[in-house]
């Protein structure tokens, strides 16, 4: 089963393509609100990430109008990357034998869908969760993740948390738990034009015994309001793209993208998967290939090798999915 999951592009407001072109502050530092809400800067963090560089420059996975990568290890070896195709609202895929060099796979994996979140089930099938019309739906594959059939119904709907997710939910990351059940972390949004990308967002969670029927968990996993200074404008209060990784000791590493919080990719670790009380900056915007916002991180936790991160970055002809390595 896939131990982590991923990410996606936003259709309300501007697309991620324009988010990166019109990025916010790319300052490498973080700010202190109070002693209990100090975001740990990358220079003090428990881990840090940097873009991979070759003799030809920074290493990209794929350039073009793609965002929200989600990488799935395949049963037969190699990796499949699902991405959102910007502008046409389809999920397409790429293949790699080593996680570094990627080639296009022909065809559309899921149509009218965004924010792919894929995992391999115990029976060998692949389920992919995605954002449909402001809700999270799913599709199932019996051929390793190439051909999908949409499953009936809605997995995660709007309004479970009142005004926090009244307008849309999406951008999920699903992990398997020790008891055989599943937990999904996802973005809830209240559409508000005063906020970044026209959405007031939080990270929420839900659980499921079968991967189809989901129950919301009370409370908020990450709320940018408590990590951004009270006087800061609303357009710096934005969090999205949770990426959960289960660790060997049962704790959850939750990576996410926070505008006004980490000036890049954030990390928060929870022993119980519910309470995320410390936030670290682990990859600064200023360290990215373009210096712009690092969006929608997808983590590939490799064995006996440094982990890889796939993320949206760049501008113009250099826009696409780039690769970073944990230091």
pLDDT at 82: 98
Confidence of residue 36 (pLDDT cuts 50, 70, 90): low
305 lies in a domain? yes
Which among 25-39, 58-72, 305-319 has the top mean pLDDT?
A: 58-72
How does pLDDT run across 249-288, given as a tens digit for each residue? Answer: 999 999 999 888 888 999 999 999 999 999 999 999 999 9
97 lies in a domain? yes
How does pLDDT run across 185-212, given as a tens digit for each residue? Answer: 999 999 999 888 899 999 999 999 999 9
204 lies in a domain? yes
Q: Is the predicted pLDDT of residue 15 greater than 90, yes or no?
A: no
pLDDT at 37: 66
Q: How far is CA 116 from CA 53, 90, 164, 195, 317, in A?
A: 27, 10, 22, 24, 24
From CA 158, how far away is CA 190, in angstroms rounded?
Answer: 10
Close Cβ partners of 239 (under 8 Å, ≥ 6 residues apart):
187, 201, 202, 203, 222, 223, 224, 256, 257, 258, 259, 261, 266
The total number of structural domains that make up the chain: 1
**Full domain range(s) for residue 53:** 16-326
Query: Stretch 52-61: mean pLDDT, rounded?
Result: 94
2 lies in a domain? no
Nearest to 202 by CA among 213, 212, 192: 192
Which CATH number fits the domain that encloses residue 197?
A: 2.120.10.10
234 lies in a domain? yes
How does pLDDT run across 70-88, given as a tens digit for each residue? Answer: 999 999 999 999 999 988 8
Query: Stretch 9-37: mean pLDDT, rounded?
Result: 41
How does pLDDT run across 126-166, given as a tens digit for each residue? Answer: 999 999 999 999 999 999 999 999 999 999 999 999 999 99
pLDDT at 261: 84
184 lies in a domain? yes
From CA 239, how far away is CA 221, in angstroms rounded?
Answer: 11
Mean model confidence pLDDT for the chain: 88
117 lies in a domain? yes
**Residue-by-residue DSSP string for 51-102:** E-EETTEE-EEEESSEEEEEEEE-TTSSEEEEEEETTTTEEEEEEESSSSS-
268, 247 Cβ separation under 8 angstroms: no
Q: Is the predicted pLDDT of residue 31 greater than 50, yes or no?
A: no
What is the share, in percent, of the chain residues with pLDDT greater than 70? 89
205 lies in a domain? yes
From CA 164, how far away is CA 240, in angstroms rounded?
Answer: 13
How does pLDDT run across 93-126, given as a tens digit for each residue? Answer: 999 999 999 999 999 999 999 999 999 999 999 9
Q: Is the pTM of this model over 0.85?
A: yes
């Amino acid at each position: 089963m896939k131990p982590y999951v991923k990410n996606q592009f936003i259709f309300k407001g501007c697309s991620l393509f324009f988010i990166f072109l019109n990025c916010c502050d790319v300052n490498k530092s973080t700010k202190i609100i109070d002693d209990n809400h100090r975001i740990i800067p990358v220079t003090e963090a428990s881990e840090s990430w940097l873009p991979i560089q070759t003799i030809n420059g920074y290493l990209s996975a794929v350039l073009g109008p793609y965002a929200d990568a989600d990488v799935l290890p395949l049963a037969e070896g190699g990796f499949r990357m699902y991405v959102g195709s910007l502008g046409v609202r389809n999920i397409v895929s790429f293949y790699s034998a080593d996680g570094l060099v990627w080639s296009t796979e022909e065809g559309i994996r899921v149509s009218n869908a965004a924010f792919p979140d894929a995992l391999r089930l115990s029976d060998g099938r692949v389920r992919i969760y995605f954002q449909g019309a402001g809700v999270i739906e799913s599709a199932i594959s019996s051929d390793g993740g190439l051909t999908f059939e949409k499953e009936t119904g809605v997995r995660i709907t709007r309004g479970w948390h009142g005004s926090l997710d009244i307008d849309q939910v999406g951008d999920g990351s699903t992990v398997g738990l020790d008891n055989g059940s599943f937990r999904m972390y996802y973005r809830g949004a209240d559409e508000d034009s005063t906020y970044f990308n026209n959405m007031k967002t939080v990270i929420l969670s839900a659980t499921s015994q079968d991967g189809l029927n989901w129950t919301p968990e009370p409370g908020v996993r990450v709320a940018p309001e408590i990590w951004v200074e009270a006087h800061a404008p609303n357009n710096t209060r934005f969090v999205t793209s949770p990426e959960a990784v289960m660790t060997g000791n049962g704790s959850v590493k939750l990576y996410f993208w926070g505008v006004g919080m980490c000036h890049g990719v954030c990390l928060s670790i929870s022993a119980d998967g519910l309470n995320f009380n410390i936030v670290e900056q682990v990859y600064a915007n200023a360290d990215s290939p373009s210096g712009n916002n690092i969006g929608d991180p997808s983590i590939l936790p490799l064995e006996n090798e440094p982990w890889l991160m796939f993320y949206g970055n760049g501008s113009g002809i250099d826009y696409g999915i780039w690769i970073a390595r944990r230091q």
